Each structure stands twice: as structure tokens, then as C-alpha cells.
Amino acid sequence: MAIRYSTNWTIDTAATCTTDGSQSQHCERCDTKGNITVITATGHTMQKTDKVEAGCTTPGKEAYYTCETCGKHFGQAGKKLRTLTGMEIFQQPAM
């Protein structure tokens, strides 16, 4: 029996912000995968949050970026972005 690939594509592994995914066409009879192709990583979609100065009783926030897709936070380090933890974003209240 010959393999008969579907004309539809199946996403086998979804692409993320940083990792490629894959898609393929599956045999309509035995589910064998064929025509496997790479889905390129999407890259981060950044939204900037501006710096907020700390007040007498309220913490401030450093300026940072959040990826709208994966939710990771990034800080500016020169011209490069680096991943931040939640604690690195907040400033202590001024005393």
C-alpha cells in the first residue's frame, strides 16, 4: 500500500519565541510523517514598561520590557536585553 500524504499540514511542534518548531504532512492511512519543514522561532514581541521612582512608602520599578508572547521580563544592559527575575524589577521604598 502506497503512502498517501494529506494535503493539510499538521503542526507537530509549535514554534516559540526562541525555539524553532516543525510541521509535516501525515499519511492518511498510517500517519507516517512526510515533507517535514521547520517553523522558524517567532522572536520576542516586546512591550516597554517605563521606570517608576520609589516613593516614601511605595516601591518603584526599573524600566523593563515584557514579551507579550511568553511573558518573560527583560532589562536593558547596554544595547542587549537580559532576562530579569521579578526581584530585579522593583526598587526599595525611599526612607
Binned at pLDDT 50, 70 and 90, residue 82 comes out as low
pLDDT at residue number 4 = 92
Q: Say what the pTM is.
A: 0.66
pLDDT (tens digit per residue) in 27-78: 999 989 999 999 999 999 989 888 888 888 877 777 888 899 998 888 865 5
Tell me, letter by letter, the H, E, C secondary structure of 18-79.
CCCEEEEEEECCCCCEEEEEEECCCCCCEEEECCECCCCCCCEECCEEEECCCCCEEEEECC
Q: Is the dihedral of CA 63, 68, 69, 70 positive or negative?
A: positive
pLDDT at position 86 is 58
What is the sign, positive or negative, of the torsion defined by CA atoms of 78, 79, 85, 91?
positive
Q: How much is the average pLDDT of 5-30?
A: 95
